[in-house]
Amino acid sequence: MNTPHIIYILSDEHRGQAMGHVGDPNVQTPWMDRLASEGASFSRAYANCPICTPSRGTIFSGRHAHAGPVAGFFDVFKPTAPSTATELRKAGYHTTYFGKWHCGIVRNQVPSSVVKDQTGVFEGGSRNRTPESHRAGFQDWYGFENLNRHFNSSIYELDNHDPTPLDGYETDALTDKAIDYIRHYDRDEPLFLVLSVTPPHFPLIVPEKWERFASDSLVVRENFHDSPEMRKSLATYYAMIENLDWNIGRLNECLKNQPGFE
Distances (CA, A) of 184 to 44, 160, 177, 251, 260: 37, 20, 11, 14, 12
Is residue 209 a part of any domain in this protein? yes
Distances (CA, A) of 113 to 144, 187, 203: 22, 46, 20
Bridge partners of 247, per DSSP, are none
Is residue 20 a part of any domain in this protein? yes
Is residue 16 a part of any domain in this protein? yes
Give the residue from 175, 184, 160 showing the smallest Cα distance to 248.
175
Is residue 208 a part of any domain in this protein? yes
Query: What element of type H or E holds 181?
Result: helix 170-183
Distances (CA, A) of 207 to 16, 31, 149, 151, 241: 23, 19, 13, 9, 12
Beta strands in 74-174 (DSSP E): 94-100, 140-144, 154-157, 164-165
Q: Considering its fold, how many domains does the chain have in total?
A: 1
Residue with the larger pLDDT of the pair 161 and 197 = 197
Is residue 211 a part of any domain in this protein? yes
The sheet carrying 191-196 orders its strands as: 6-10, 191-196, 94-100, 140-144, 154-157, 164-165
Bridge partners of 196, per DSSP, are 10, 99
pLDDT band at 163 (very low <50, low <70, confident <90, very high): confident
What whole-number distance in Å separates Cα of residue 19 and Cα of residue 31? 10
Q: Are 69 and 78 in contact (CB under 8 A)?
A: yes
Q: What is the mean pLDDT of residues 86-107?
A: 87
Q: Domain span at residue 159?
A: 6-46+88-111+121-256
pLDDT of 147 over the 80 cut? no
pLDDT band at 212 (very low <50, low <70, confident <90, very high): confident
The segment with the largest mean pLDDT, out of 44-48, 191-195, 208-212, is 191-195
Is residue 67 a part of any domain in this protein? no
Is residue 57 a part of any domain in this protein? no
What's the whole-number average pLDDT of the chain? 86
Q: What is the pLDDT of residues 5-45, one digit of tens each?
A: 999 999 999 999 999 999 999 999 999 999 999 999 998 88
Q: What is the pLDDT of residues 49-67, one digit of tens each?
A: 888 888 888 888 888 888 8
pLDDT score, position 128: 67
pLDDT of 126 over the 70 cut? no
Is residue 242 a part of any domain in this protein? yes
Distances (CA, A) of 250 to 46, 86, 175, 177, 198: 28, 28, 8, 12, 18
Give the residue from 125, 136, 142 showing the smallest Cα distance to 52.
125
Based on its alpha-carbon atoms, the radius of gyration of the chain, rounded to whole angstroms, reads 19
CATH of the domain at 204: 3.40.720.10
What whole-number distance in Å separates Cα of residue 128 and Cα of residue 106? 9
